[in-house]
Structure 1
């Protein structure tokens, strides 16, 4: 059953689609050890098994178990750490103004109390957030003559907070929250004390007196981006320093790209507990999702790492299927 969740996370499949694909694909059947006449679990069985893992809060234990397996195979957390967050979309809720106000106050709307079936289909934990970005330069236009345009994109769902190590680009810490949660408040929970490097890189949202004091107490070196002064242009010295940090910090965006584009990460379930489980699978502490795919290729060139680290990775390269053997699945 756990192998089924592996496939479900890798290919972003619903329970019904998972059942169909197992019956349809010989490659899936071989991976699961099923014959042509084997019994395939139905969608309800897959849901019940996943729900048992959610209720038991097993994702954290799997997370720690996989990290220990990586360490045993030579993938130590080293080179410092990069902290970042991304919004994971969830199905939008069509609520009235009164219903939205009740949810924000932590209450259940009166109209939902009389309809338990409707209440079960409403996500009261997901929230709206705004993603800020820049408009792309039009094709054929001069980039220097193009005036940057700020875009505000509303998004509904949850936030996936992660911390990766610079040497291997593997997720070492993670957490999940509603989309409107403040990024900087999660920094203490995302710092890995097992990393051999002391440097910490993050966006300006993580810079605060409280976080700087926390890093100083833990003997970490803060490389968090400097904020732009209010109503003033960014000093050239600070801009150059931020640019150098961005060149290193961009490695975390490749992890998010693997989750969202190759795996199609989305929260299809209802509630923060199930949403946290989905984010945990995508983060790959257990042998799932992007890291399960990437771990068999860690012997290849690692962007941002030295030749010594690349040589070390090639010596400890995990062959395909090794992680399933480690976990006995």
Structure 2
């Protein structure tokens, strides 16, 4: 299936001075050609009307994350806002996708398992810009409620002192210095953190900071296998008396808590700003698409802020 040609008209908004937009800077942050190459095979059918360019659709989904927009609101905003059009590559007066086009595009992403490849392609470029020397990794997990209790891929989980949640769990590995997300694993919510944790470990992780849920040998061995050093919150230690034991436990745990706590800001941004309090669609594959898109959107904004601070 051929792709539509977009952006052929000159951008012209009645002679007005174009206001500066952070989206213009985000559009220049990476080389989008490798991303377009990954997306290009999505519409391979030879029949049917021309499809919307996959890269434009992918960028539109990033807008929906940054601005927490439904498909309906995204279609309206893309039709109306000049900065959205520029970011996606649409000129001033041409047609833009309707909401059903985003539904189909996400279905293609999930069916082809491209969300992970897109995350890797974007994150590799961003790491080269923001991460100077790898010193450590933060590992933790966050629970995200399912779109519906009828989602058969989701599971119930209950933590002490909190209400039960039906949903999924995102296991995240982030750079300890820049807080860029480097690895992701998405599972049903009842998956044990220590068992799923190795899926969130990047290569050469350095010191790995994690809470007591990761204290088993399975996770420690995975960290060491990748050349890392486990720094995991302890729940008990040997000592000659109670006071000495508590002192040793505090001296071990306090530095870990101080570093590990940075990952909570990532989860807070995802849920407060990017709408990841609840999954939008049913099924593990579509849940993975939503989490990977959220991580890509977060990493792009985070890298832009890091480079702005350095400048």
TM-score class normalised by the smaller sequence = 0.7 to 0.9
1:295-306 matched pairs, under 5 angstroms: 295-299=303-307
Distance 1:209 1:5, change over 3 A: same
- 1:42 matched to which residue of 2? 98
Q: Under a length normalisation based on structure 2, what TM-score does the superposition of the two structures give?
A: 0.73
The reply on whether 1:53 has 2:147 as its aligned counterpart is no
- 1:12 matched to which residue of 2? 68
Specify the SS of the correspondent of 2:135.
coil
CA displacement at 1:240 relative to structure 2: 3.5
Q: Under a length normalisation based on structure 1, what TM-score does the superposition of the two structures give?
A: 0.69
The reply on whether 1:282 has 2:310 as its aligned counterpart is no
2:169 corresponds to which of 149, 159, 171: 159
- 1:84 matched to which residue of 2? 140
Return the alpha-carbon distance in structure 2 between the equivalents of residues 76 and 153 of structure 1.
Answer: 41
Return the alpha-carbon distance in structure 2 between the equivalents of residues 64 and 32 of structure 1.
Answer: 21
CA displacement at 1:243 relative to structure 2: 2.0
2:180 corresponds to which of 166, 170, 179: 170
1:1-329 matched pairs, under 5 angstroms: 1-73=57-129, 75-76=131-132, 78-93=134-149, 122-132=150-160, 151-195=161-205, 198-228=206-236, 235-265=246-276, 266-284=278-296, 289-299=297-307, 314=310
Return the alpha-carbon distance in structure 2 between the equivalents of residues 42 and 212 of structure 1.
Answer: 48
Contact 1:77 1:194 in 2 (8 A): no
CA displacement at 1:71 relative to structure 2: 3.9
CA displacement at 1:217 relative to structure 2: 4.1
Return the alpha-carbon distance in structure 2 between the equivalents of residues 291 and 20 of structure 1.
Answer: 26
Distance 1:295 1:215, change over 3 A: closer
Higher relative contact order (CA 8 A, sep 6+): 1
- Matched residues, number: 249
Distance 1:86 1:74, change over 3 A: closer
Distance 1:200 1:269, change over 3 A: same
Specify the SS of the correspondent of 1:177.
strand
- 2:33 matched to which residue of 1? none
Contact 1:54 1:274 in 2 (8 A): yes
Specify the SS of the correspondent of 1:83.
strand
Q: Which runs of 5+ in 2 are unaligned?
A: 1-56
Return the alpha-carbon distance in structure 2 between the equivalents of residues 85 and 244 of structure 1.
Answer: 20
Contact 1:175 1:280 in 2 (8 A): no
RMSD of the alignment, in Å? Answer: 2.3
